[in-house]
Structure 1
Amino acid sequence: MSTTIRRWRVQAARPELSVILSTYNQPLWLEKTLAGYAVQSMRGFELVVADDGSDARTRDVLERIAPRLGLALTHVWHPDQGFRKSAILNRAVEAAQADYLVFSDGDCIPRADFVATHAALRQPGRFLSGGYCKLPMSTSQRIDADDIAQGRFVDPAWLRTNGCSDAAISRKLRVHGHRAVLWDRLSTARASWNGHNASGWRHDILAVNGFDERMGYGGQDREFGERLANLGVRGLRIRHRAVVVHLDHPRGYATAESIARNRAIRVQTRRSRSTWCVHGLRPGPAPLLGPAVPAFEPGLG
Structure 2
Amino acid sequence: MPTFTALTTVADQSSAEGLGAAMESLVPEPTGVGVFELEDGSGLWEVGGYFVDPPDDSALMLLAAAFDAKPFSVSELPEKDWVAHVRRELSPVAAGRFFVYGSHDADKVPDGVEPLLIEAAMAFGTGHHGTTLGCLRALDRLAQAGFAGRRVADIGCGTAVLAMAAARIWPDTVLASDIDAVAVEVAATNVAANGLEGRVVCVEAEGFDAPELARAAPFDLVFANILKAPLIALAPDMAANLQPGGYAILSGILNDQADEVIAVYAAHGINLEHREQIVDWTTLTLRKTPA
Please indicate, yes or no, whether the TM-score normalized by the shorter chain is above 0.5. Answer: no
TM range (shorter): under 0.3
TM-score normalised per structure 2? 0.27
Based on CA coordinates, which of the two structures has the bigger radius of gyration? 2
Larger strand percent: 2
Q: 1 or 2 for the larger relative contact order (CA 8 Å, sep ≥6)?
A: 1
